[in-house]
Structure formats: C-alpha cells, structure tokens
A and B are shown apart, each in its own frame.
Chain A
Amino acid sequence: MEFTTTFFFMVGGTLCLITSIFFFISYFKTKQRASLSLAFVSFWIALHAYAFSIPTIIDPGNLDLLAIGYIVGIAALFLVQISGLEVQNFMTKHATNMNFPTIGSLVITLIASITLIIMSYDFRTPLINDSGIIFWNVNKIAQWLIGLSSLTYGLFWNYVFYQAATIVDDSYARFRLMIIGIAGTSMGTTAFLVHTSSSEIQTLTGHIIFVISGLMILGIFIIPKKLFSTNKKTSV
C-alpha cells in the first residue's frame, strides 16, 4: 500500500513545524506579537498535516482513526485561521483596534462549529485509492465550508501582506512579506483543492502546492539578506 497523502502531509507538516520554531525564536528575540501569531499559525498547520498523516502510519487499516484524525485536523485548520487574524490586523493601519480580530474570530468559530458538528453527526470514513491518495469522504456541506473558507481566507491573507509589502522601503522586508502572502494563498488553495476533491489529480496538485508553500515560508529564514543588498558590485 502506498502512502502518497501521508508522505506529502508529513513533509509539509514538518516544514511548517520547523518554520514555527523559527517564528517562536524570532518572537523571543523581538517580542513582536505578530511573530508569535505566525508561530502559532505554522504550528497549527503542522498539527493539521500531522493529524491527517500520523493515523495512517499508526494503523493504515483503521479508517475510523483516520476519520477522527481528519476531524482533529480540520479543527486545527480553523485554529490556523483564528491565529492568523492577529497577524493580518497587525499589518493594517488600525492595528490598535481589535474589532477585526474579534469579529473575524466569531465568524470563523461559527463556521468551524457548524462544520465540526456536521462531520460528527454525519460521521464517514475516508476512501483510499491504489495510489495511496486519501479521499476524505465527508459531508458535502462540510467539505465546501472548509474549502471555501480556506480559499477566501488565503486570498485575504495575500491581499493584506501584499498591501504591507508595498509600504516598506527595504527590498528584503518586501520579499519576506510577499513570500508569506503567497504562501498563505497557496495554503488556502491547497485546502480548497484537497477538501473538495473527488479526483486524484486535484488532490495530488493540492498536496504538491502544500509542500511548496512550506518550503516558501521556510525560505524566508534561509535565504540570506545580502542577496537583497542594493550595493551591488560590478566586475571590471
């Protein structure tokens, strides 16, 4: 039996976990609350990915365990969204006004509650094809709520970070903000593709994008700052 989904989620989850450690370190250095929020965002994404993949490693034949892992993973996904609100608010002009995170959290909690209740009452076990790709086989309403809310959230995330990138004067800072923005959209797209999928290629695309997103976020800590130095030397 192949573990395609498990592999991708494990890789993506590990990348996110490493990223979250970087963000936590950054928070302890700078004491910026936005770094802490991003650390939690990455951590919840990692948890989300592990919740989808670890049950398969523990007992691949136990579909109930996989389904429970899925519900836990979805709960983590909504925690990602709630944690990310403060980061987005931080990027806006009225950062001191907490209306946006509060209202956003309420809306996300409402969607999360509806989704999780549906999934619990209409408990279904996933389907695994021969290529090792898992189709989560959840209630249609629940899967579209997850997919659409994730995509919308990802697009909004990108908009906020793109706006922030336009106002900074440092090219390195601009690059980092752009990358975080694009990674957020990619993650949202992943969620949309994976959770609403009934085709192998759609799910596989989602998995690949997820790993790329993890690499992109990690890249902001790895790519050296000197690459963005404006004092370029010319050879004679």
Chain B
Amino acid sequence: MDFINVILATVFSVNFVLATLIFINRKNSGGSIYFSLAAYCTTIWVLSMFFFRKIDSLETLIIPTKLLYISGILISTFFLRFSYSFLSKNSYRVFFIPITVPTLLLIVSIIFSPLTINSVNHITSEEKNVVFGPIYPIYGLLMFVYFLWSYLNFYKRYKVENRENKYRLSFIIIGTGLSVFSGLIFDIVFPYFGNFDLYWLGPMLTIIFVTFTAYAILRHKLFNVKVIAAELLTFSLWITISIRAFLSKTPEDQLINGGLLLITVVLGIFLIKSVIKEVESREEIERLAKDLSTANARLKELDKLKSEFVSIASHQLRSPLTAIKGYASLILDGSYGKITYGVHEAINKIFQSSMSLVVMVEDFLNISRIEQGTMKYNMETADIEKLIKIVVEEQEATAQRAGLKISFSTDKKNPYFVSIDVNKIRQVITNLIDNSVKYTPKGSISVRLYKEPARNKIIFSISDTGVGIDKETIPQLFSKFGRAKDANKINVAGAGLGLYVVKEIINGHKGRVWVTSDGKGSGSQFFVEFDENLEAARINRVNEFAKNV
C-alpha cells in the first residue's frame, strides 16, 4: 500500500469538503468566492499529484502532470485576487489584465505546447520526473511574484486592522504561507533542478492550510461555523444512510433505509435553512449594531460640535444683550432725560425682551457646558430664602404684566442654609417661575419654602393655577427639548430647554426636582429639594443664641 497516496487521498477529501463548505457559505461581498476557488484548485492540485503517483502509463501521465501545473498557477492567481478583497474594491481592476493575461497564456502554453511542460519520464519503475520547457522559469517566477504580491496586500491590510481581524489575517497568512512556501520549494524549485524525491510533499502540506483555516473558522469565526457544522452533520447523515440503503439486502431494509434517507434529506434541508436563517439574522443584527454604533458616534460628534458652536455663539450674544438691557434700563430710569409715555412703553418692551433673551442665552450656555462636561459649580453656603426672595421680586413685574399674582412664603423664621452655586440656583428659580408665568393664563403663582426636619431637607415649591400637565407628559418634561403636546399653542417661544437645564443643575447639586399636576386645567407644582447644610445651620444657630441670650 502506498501510504503517501493514502495521505494524499485524505488531504484531497478534507480539502474538497473545506472548499465546498467555503463555497456554499461564501458571502456576497468579500473575496470568499476567490478563496474557495483557490481551495478547489488546491484540491485539484492534490488530486493531480495522487494520479501522478498512481498512473504508470507515460501517455496518460501527462494529463495529471499538466493539471498539476495548471492548478498551481490558478491557485496563485485566485489567491492574489482573494488578497485584493481585503483592500479597496476597485484596486484589483487596475491589475486585472496584468494578472489574468499571463495566467491564461501560461495555461494555454501548458495545454497546447511543450514550452512549460515538455514531457514525463520514468527514472526507475516507480520514480518519475518531469521534463520542463524553456518558459518554465517564467512560470515559477510568476507564481512567486503572485504569492509575494498577495502577502504584500495582506500586510497592507494587517497594519490597519483591529486586534480581532489581525488574528484572523494572521491565520490566513501563516496557514497559506507555509503551504505556499513548501509548494514553491518542493514542486517548483526542487524539480527544476531535477529533484523529485519530495515532489509529493507540497500537495500534502496543504493540510497545514486546511488546519489553519479550520482553526480560524472555529476560533475566530472566519466563516459561519454553525452553518458548516450543520451541513457537515447533515451530509454525514445523508451519506451514511445512502450507503446503508445501497447495501441493504432485503426489500424491507431498502424500504426502511430509503424512507429514512428521504426524511433525513427533508429534515436536513430544513435544518440547514434554519441555521442559515439564524446566522443571517445574527449577521444582520451585527451589521445594524455596527451601523448604529457608527451613527451614534457621528451623532455624538455632531452634538459636540453643536454645543461648541452654541457656546461660542451664546458668548458672542451675551455682550450686546447686556448693553441693550443696561441702556434700556438707564433710559427707563430717566438717566437720559424725560421720555414720553409711548417711548417708555417701547423701551420697556425692549428691556423685557432683552431680559427673556438673557435667560435663553444663559440656558443655551448652560446646555453647552453640560454637554461638554465643563459645567463648574462654585459651591458656597447660602440662605436660599434670601435668594428666592430676590428672584421673586425680580419676576414680580413680569408676572404682573401677565396679569398674575406672585407670592412667597416660608413656614419658619429659621434660615434655610444649603450648599449651592448661587448663580446657578438663581437660574433654576428664574427658569421655574418663568415657566409658570408662561403657562398660567390667569390666576396666581405661589412660591413656598419649607423644611422637612426628619430628612434634613429643604424644599421650595412653585405652584401655579396654569394649564396643568397630563400624566403622559410629566416623565418627559425635564428632557432636552421636552415640551407638553399643546405647549406651542400657549407659548410659541419656548424651546423646551429651561426645565432640562433646571434638572441638570439640580442633579449637579445632588438635589431633586419633580413636578406634580392633577391634569390639564388643574395647575402644576414644581418642587426642588436640597440637603440642608446642617453645619452652617448649627453655626448660625449657636452664634445667634450666644449673641442674643
């Protein structure tokens, strides 16, 4: 028994199965079709070597010999094409003619002329050698160039790939590299110098390529391993049952095995289809997730750019607004002399509008700071009662113009010490009162400050008799651009940013903000909760006691 031929037959079978599986599971995009074609050519190469060793007749031997070299050049050509699938799609087109034409010319020369392969001789009864033609060195050189070119392409890709893909590529490069190297040495170089002792080794070592590719499939999901496994199982079942059916001696056995084969075929097809479907779904999900991730990254980038733009624009807007507000205030105060009633009204509107714009610009600035992560809080101990009183007084004129009454009350005479960034909390109170004024067509707004001693919390609430909020809207009210459904009908100018800024600032203070409403037309109550600064309260309390006792 020729053990080398047994091994070659085994390698052929394995190569064939692998090439078939890769071909069946090839993806529409990418170069897996070329990889499978290269794998088929490798199969033919191994099979040719098997017949080269098996056949004794010199007339017949020329056929596997020529096939050996035709498949060899085809392996290198398809492999080169496969390597281009890792680069940009169009780059191969440039080289299509320089690659394909020499390959075709060499194949033609091998088939129809003795220029590459001249003849086959017997050295001994068992040993054979090939007599090469004059252009054989060109054949060898071309193969060498094609493989070298392929590996250069792989290397280009390898440099820019991520870690996972680098692993995959390294398996292809090492696996094919070892096979290619041995093939070039034992089947191109050595035979040219008359050494045919290891002629069979090149085809046999394609098992390295098979092993590496199989490992890449299993370990790094080079191809769809689930599908391959399902197909292997199904094919094995089919073959086994078919053999059993053919070998059955009695009609009963034939009938049973035939029926079994039929069921297995049908179920196997369903199994493979379902596995393929599942794999396709997974791939689709992976693709969508990747797309989503890319889109998300892009959105974040755009959001960042927008925030930067808003920040710059808002800073630019703030200076002229301050001037408008300041001069309007001076004119209203009479610093530029007496003005008529009509002018006073007009200037007053300018002043009020500039005030609204200042709030809006401040909101934009805060949002850009929040989103850029540059929001800084200058925490200090403050009596929030005083701050609320000031803001309520400031907002009184605005409320009165809207025909609303605004009131402020506290439940105790104690100071309400909290650790806050005074300017930011002023913005919070302003936003909340401003919000109530906007959505209260008539009635009143009452601001209340109180303590919850059991929890050491200080809470201020802003209640209005306004349009109210339905339950569905409440959860999204503090989100960015979150507005009630009919908000536009009541207040066109609102951007849905004020409450978002409020929430972010309060979160920055480790506080809590929430809203309650009994529904449309029932008004609403906004609550803001802070931790009481107990130490500040104690110092104040003890100081007051010791001074006044």
Q: Report A's interface with B, CB cutoff 8 A.
A: 23, 26, 29-30, 32, 34-35, 38, 90-97, 164-165, 167-170, 172-174, 176-177, 220
Complex Cα–Cα for A191 and B117 (A): 126
Q: Verify A35–B545 contact, CB threshold 8 A.
A: yes
Contact indicator A23/B538 (Cβ below 8 Å): no
Q: Do B534 and A32 have beta carbons less than 8 Å apart?
A: no
Cβ-defined contact, A93 with B546, below 8 A: no
Taking CB atoms and an 8 Å cut-off, the chain B residues in 450-476 that contact chain A are 451, 453-454, 456
Given A94-B534, A96-B453, A96-B456, the answer on whether A38 and B549 have CB atoms closer than 8 Å is yes
A67 to chain B, nearest CB (A): 37
Q: State the 6 A-B residue pairs at the shortest beta-carbon distance, nearest first.
A: A173-B546, A96-B453, A93-B534, A164-B542, A30-B548, A168-B543
Contact partner, A35, options B454, B534, B549, Cβ 8 Å: B549
- Give, as a whole number of angstroms, the nearest-CB distance from A128 to chain B: 39
A32 to B542, CA, bound (A): 11
- Please pick, from B454, B534, B538, B547, the residue contacting A170 in the complex, using a CB distance under 8 A: B547
* Interface residue? B278 (CB, 8 A): no
Nearest residue, chain A, Cβ from B548: A30
B contact residues around A95 at 8 Å (CB) = 537-538, 541
Contact of B548 among A29, A91, A164, A165 (CB under 8 A): A29
Residues in B neighbouring A173, C-beta threshold 8 A: 542-543, 546-547
Contacts of A97 in B (CB 8 A): 453
Write the nearest CB–CB distance from B471 to chain A, whole angstroms. Answer: 34
Contact residue among A93, A96, A172 (Cβ-Cβ distance under 8 Å from B535): A93
B539 CB within 8 Å of chain A: yes
Verify if B252 is at the interface (C-beta below 8 Å from A). Answer: no
Decide if B541 touches A168 in the complex (CB within 8 Å). no
B164 in contact (CB, < 8 A): no
Chain B residue contacts of A174, Cβ below 8 A? 546
- Contact across chains for B549 and A91 when beta carbons are under 8 A apart: no
**Closest residue to A34 on the B side, CB-wise?**
B545
| Listed residue (A26, A96, A170) with the most chain B CB atoms within 10 angstroms of its CB | A96
Of A93, A94, A167, A176, most B-chain CB atoms within 10 Å: A93
Give CA–CA (A119, B456) in the complex, Å: 44
Contacts of A168 in B (CB 8 A): 539, 542-543, 546
Closest to A31 in B: B413
Question: Closest residue of chain B to A168, judged by CB?
Answer: B543
Number of A-B contacts defined by CB within 8 Å = 63
Is A32's CB under 8 angstroms from B535's CB?
Answer: no
Q: Is the CB of B545 within 8 A of A167?
A: no
On whether the beta carbons of A176 and B534 are closer than 8 Å, the reply is: no
Considering the complex, which residues of chain B in the window 511-549 have a beta carbon less than 8 Å from any beta carbon of chain A? Answer: 534-535, 537-539, 541-549
Determine which of A30, A92, A169, A177 lies in contact with B538 in the assembled complex, contact meaning CB atoms within 8 Å: A92
Check B534 against A91 for contact (C-beta < 8 Å).
no
Distance from B417 Cβ to chain A, minimum over Cβ atoms (Å): 12
Of the residues A23, A167, A172, contact of B539 by C-beta under 8 Å: A167
Q: Say whether, besides A90-B541, A164-B542, A220 and B547 are in contact (CB < 8 Å).
A: no
**What are 23 A-to-B residue pairs whose CB atoms are below 8 Å?**
A23-B549, A26-B549, A30-B549, A32-B544, A32-B549, A34-B549, A35-B545, A35-B548, A90-B541, A90-B542, A91-B538, A93-B534, A96-B454, A96-B456, A97-B453, A165-B546, A168-B543, A169-B539, A170-B547, A173-B542, A173-B546, A176-B546, A177-B546
B interface with A by C-beta (< 8 Å) = 451, 453-454, 456, 534-535, 537-539, 541-549
Q: How far is the CA of A201 from the CA of B539 in the complex (A)?
A: 42
Cβ A93 vs Cβ B453 within 8 A: no
Tell me which of B453, B454, B456, B542 contacts A91 (CB under 8 A).
Answer: B542
Q: Which residues of B contact A94 (CB under 8 A)?
A: 456, 534
B548 in contact with A26 (CB, 8 Å) = yes
Residue of A nearest to B455 (CB): A96
Contact present for A167 and B549 (CB under 8 Å): no
Closest chain B residue to A96 by CB distance? Answer: B453
Measured between beta carbons, the chain A residues less than 8 angstroms from B545 are 32, 34-35, 90
Please give me the residue from chain B that is nearest to A29 by CB atom.
B548
Closest CB in chain B relative to A89 CB, distance in Å? 11
Tell me, rounded to whole Å, the shortest Cβ–Cβ distance linking B410 to chain A. Answer: 16
B534 (CB) vs chain A CBs: closest residue = A93
* Minimal beta-carbon separation of B189 from chain A (angstroms): 90
Q: A96-B453, A170-B543 are in contact. Are A176 and B538 (CB under 8 A)?
A: no
Closest CB-CB distance, B532 to chain A, in whole Å? 8
CB distance from B412 to the nearest CB of A (A): 11
- In the complex, the answer to whether A169 meets B543 with C-beta atoms within 8 Å is yes
Chain B residue, CB-CB nearest to A173: B546
User: Using Cβ atoms and an 8 Å threshold, which residues of chain A touch B541?
Assistant: 90, 95
Residue of B nearest to A22 (CB): B549
CB distance from B549 to the nearest CB of A (A): 5
Extra inter-chain contacts (20) besides given A34-B545, A93-B534, A94-B534, CB under 8 Å: A23-B549, A30-B544, A34-B549, A35-B545, A35-B548, A35-B549, A90-B541, A90-B542, A90-B545, A91-B538, A164-B546, A167-B538, A167-B542, A168-B539, A168-B542, A170-B546, A173-B542, A173-B543, A176-B549, A177-B546
A35 — which chain B residues lie within 8 A by C-beta?
545, 548-549
Nearest-CB distance from A31 to chain B (Å)?
8
- Distance between Cα atoms of A93 and B453 in the complex (Å): 12
Closest to A164 in B: B542
Residues of B within 8 A of A32 (CB): 544-545, 548-549
State A94–B453 Cα separation when bound (angstroms): 9
Which residue of chain A has the shortest Cβ distance to B453 in the bound complex? Answer: A96
Q: Is the CB of A172 within 8 A of B547?
A: yes
CB closest chain-A residue, reference B538: A93
Per the bound structure, the CA–CA distance linking A172 and B543 in Å amounts to 10
Q: Which residues of A contact B453 (CB under 8 A)?
A: 96-97
* CB closest residue in chain A, given B542: A164
Within the assembled complex, what's the spacing in Å between the Cα atoms of A90 and B414? Answer: 13
Contact check, B549 vs A220: say whether CB atoms are below 8 A apart.
yes
- When C-beta atoms are compared, the residue in chain A nearest to B543 turns out to be A168
Chain A residues, CB < 8 A from B543: 168-170, 173
**Interface centre among A29, A95, A174, by most B CB within 10 Å?**
A95
How far does the alpha carbon of A220 sit from the alpha carbon of B534 in the complex, in Å? 27
Which of the listed residues A35, A164, A172, A174 has the most CB atoms from chain B within 10 Å of its own CB? A164
Q: Cα distance A86–B107 when bound, in Å?
A: 108
CA distance A91 to B534 in the complex (A): 11
Specify which chain A residues have a CB less than 8 angstroms from the CB of B454 in the assembled complex: 96
Task: Find chain B residues with CB under 8 A from A93 CB.
Answer: 534-535, 538
Contacting residues, chain A, for B549 (C-beta < 8 A)? 23, 26, 30, 32, 34-35, 38, 176, 220
Most chain A beta-carbon neighbours within 10 Å: one of B454, B535, B547, B549: B549
Bound complex: CA A32 to CA B531 (Å) = 24
Q: Which residues of chain A come closer than 8 Å to B538, judged between CB atoms?
A: 91-93, 95, 167
Residues of chain B within 8 A (CB-CB) of A34 are: 545, 549
